[in-house]
Structure 1
Amino acid sequence: MLSYQLDIGQVVTACAGRDEGKLFFIINIIDSQYVHIADGKSRKVDSPKLKKVKHLKKLNIINDSVRAKILSGENVTDSFLRAELKKLNK
């Protein structure tokens, strides 16, 4: 069980590293300490960033369309992630 209760499709902000302050989606949960994050721009779906959970700030937003696509095994594109993040920035 994750200590921070993160979920696939969750929007997070990086709190450390060169990605600090940027918004990302969690696209894969490795274990209780590590997740894969992607934003479709600097971190692509094909090569997501492995990030420690303690270096992420959880936002109380779970994007249902991103979550559904990932869990169903559909192809998630970088442009789709960028478009979904753009909706959040408005």
Structure 2
Amino acid sequence: MDSTSDITIGQVVKSRAGRDKGNIFLVLDIIDDEYVYIVDGDIRKLDNPKKKKVKHLIIYNTIMPELKEKVKNRTKINNAYIRKLLEPFNMKL
């Protein structure tokens, strides 16, 4: 099965490996079947997204459609916006 079919821009993911293990991120871009760029607006800002292997991510069913739209339309987004989207998820930790 193609791993990119179950991950999309704006999807909420959690790191399961590496230095950022346990952190919640949003998928900013999909590089290929194996890698995606993720951001959290805090440690990983929009100007320096983290390249991460999909297999090192726990993929949640939650997708932020407004982020997907903004990325698609190349609308300017900032780190505060990313943090605001992730706020409810970080409270659960």
Identity of aligned residues (%): 42
Q: Structure 1 runs of 4+ off > 4 angstroms?
A: none
2:68 matches 1:67: yes
Deviation, 1:88, is 3.5
Question: Secondary structure at 1:40's aligned position in 2?
Answer: coil
Deviation, 1:53, is 0.5
Tell me which protein shows more helix as a share of its residues.
2
Aligned partners of 2:3, 2:34: CA distance in 1, in Å? 9
Q: Which runs of 5+ in 2 are unaligned?
A: none
- Give the aligned partner of residue 8 of structure 1: 9
Normalised TM-score (structure 2): 0.90
Q: State the superposition RMSD in angstroms.
A: 1.4
Aligned partners of 1:45, 1:12: CA distance in 2, in Å? 16
Normalised TM-score (structure 1): 0.93
The size of the alignment, in residue pairs, is 90
Q: Deviations over 1:38-69 (max 9, x none)?
A: 00000000000000010001000001111111
